[in-house]
């Protein structure tokens, strides 16, 4: 009887360990733009990503995150005014931005599926504000993932 109970316990532990999704923290790193630039917004289109929690909201920013019925979604943020734009020294405030379920491996996706992440940022220049803000694509190298169980404590 003890052997049967132990083997059932081990099977339940194995099933529950497999059922729990692996989670990761998504961070947005600033591309090398130089010292005179600022970021006023970002937009990350997602595919097959479940956002568990928004972990970091810079002061004066609005962050939204969600997913549609068709597996597409978005994570976006916008500064509420010029004084809350992020310069090169403040961009670290978008580190550990959201907690997500780990994305599926790119190798297992069909050729017709979009990538898990496509991102852009809106940047402007302190040196020439008359040129206005412009949208720039963000490479995969600027979207960082690291394993996590929860949002980091502040």
Domain that holds residue 123: 22-147
**What total of structural domains would you count in the chain?**
1
Q: What is the pTM of this model?
A: 0.81
Question: Does residue 11 sit within a domain?
Answer: no
Question: Does residue 47 sit within a domain?
Answer: yes
- Find the Cα–Cα–Cα–Cα dihedral 122, 125, 129, 131, rounded to 10°: -70
- The C-alpha angle with vertex 138 and arms to 134 and 143, in degrees rounded to 5, equals 140
Q: What is the pLDDT of residues 74-84, one digit of tens each?
A: 999 999 988 99
Summarize the confidence of residues 128-141 as an average pLDDT.
Answer: 86
Question: Does residue 9 sit within a domain?
Answer: no
Query: Does residue 96 come out as left (phi exceeding 0), alpha (psi in the -120 to 50 range) or beta?
Result: left
Q: What is the CATH number of the domain that holds 110?
A: 2.60.40
- The sheet with strand 143-147 has its strands ordered as 51-54, 98-101, 23-28, 143-147
Higher pLDDT, 70 or 107: 70
């Amino acid at each position: 009887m003890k052997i049967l109970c132990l083997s059932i316990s081990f099977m339940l532990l194995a099933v529950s360990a497999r059922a729990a999704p692996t989670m990761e923290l998504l961070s947005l790193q600033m591309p090398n733009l130089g010292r005179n630039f600022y970021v006023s917004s970002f937009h990350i289109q997602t595919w097959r990503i479940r956002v568990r929690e928004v972990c970091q909201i810079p002061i004066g920013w609005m962050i939204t995150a969600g997913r549609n019925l068709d597996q597409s979604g978005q994570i976006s943020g916008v500064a509420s005014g010029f004084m809350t734009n992020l310069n090169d020294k403040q961009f670290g405030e978008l580190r550990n931005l959201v907690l997500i379920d780990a994305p599926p491996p790119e190798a297992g996706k069909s050729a017709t599926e979009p990538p898990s992440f496509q991102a852009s940022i809106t940047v402007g220049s302190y040196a020439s504000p008359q040129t206005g803000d412009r949208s720039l694509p963000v490479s995969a190298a600027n979207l960082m993932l690291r394993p996590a169980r929860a949002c980091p404590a502040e």
